[in-house]
Amino acid sequence: MNWLAHVFLSELDIDFQIGNFLADPLKGRVWENASDEIKKGMQTHKKIDSFTDSHEIISCSKKRLRERGLLKPVIVDLTYDYLLTKNWDKFCTIPLKTFSNSFYTQAYKRAPFMPYIANISITNMIERDLLNKYHTINQLKTSFDRMDKRLSPRLLQRETASGYSNTVIDNINYLEKDFLEFFPQLCKTLKSDLDKNKLKHWRL
């Protein structure tokens, strides 16, 4: 799952959401004096990744793209964020723009009190509006193009993210079916470990 999913799949607490988001850029390392909510957010991120990486529906989505490919997991992550955006109202009680703006506002206020790399990661996320990058299929294709600019020349010789665009579009209905089956299962699995009083933004 990508940025939007991780922020959504959190208790409605800004430190928890930030921790869930920061687990990737900080490689899961918690800084000294981090709040308990930051730690819980990072732990939830790991649970999301573990559940996702081993799930048969995710494997099915990857196979829809091609038999082999180093970038398949990332392509599925980005595509699922697009599909979460598309189906947002099925899962969240808060409109997406309201949800993302609330997160940005609160995260911006918290960022100065966090270590430099955390501050930079949060600020970069807000400035690039990373929670709203996948509203259309064209925006999804653009995200694949942007990814190519960050890949090493050696990897680009083997495959490109943009090379998946047509396959994703051709299979988008099947991928959406996969997502709509998978995402409620993920929510159900996480819910047992979270404070249900802080999940009022979830419809499930």
DSSP calls for 73-107: HHHHHHHHHHHHHHTHHHHBSS-HHHHHHHHHHHH
* Of 46, 47, 38, nearest in space to 115 by CA: 38
Per-position pLDDT tens, the chain of length 204: 889 999 999 999 999 999 999 998 898 788 888 999 999 999 999 999 999 999 999 999 999 998 889 999 999 999 999 999 999 999 999 999 999 999 999 999 999 999 999 999 999 999 999 999 899 999 999 999 999 999 999 989 999 999 999 999 999 999 999 999 999 999 999 999 999 999 999 998
pLDDT of residue 121: 95
pLDDT of residue 20: 97
Q: What's the rounded Cα separation, in Å, for the pair 146 and 1?
A: 18
- pTM score over 0.85: yes
pLDDT of residue 28: 79
Q: What's the rounded Cα separation, in Å, for the pair 155 and 61?
A: 22
* Of 131, 140, 130, 132, nearest in space to 175 by CA: 140
pLDDT of residue 204: 85
pLDDT of residue 32: 86
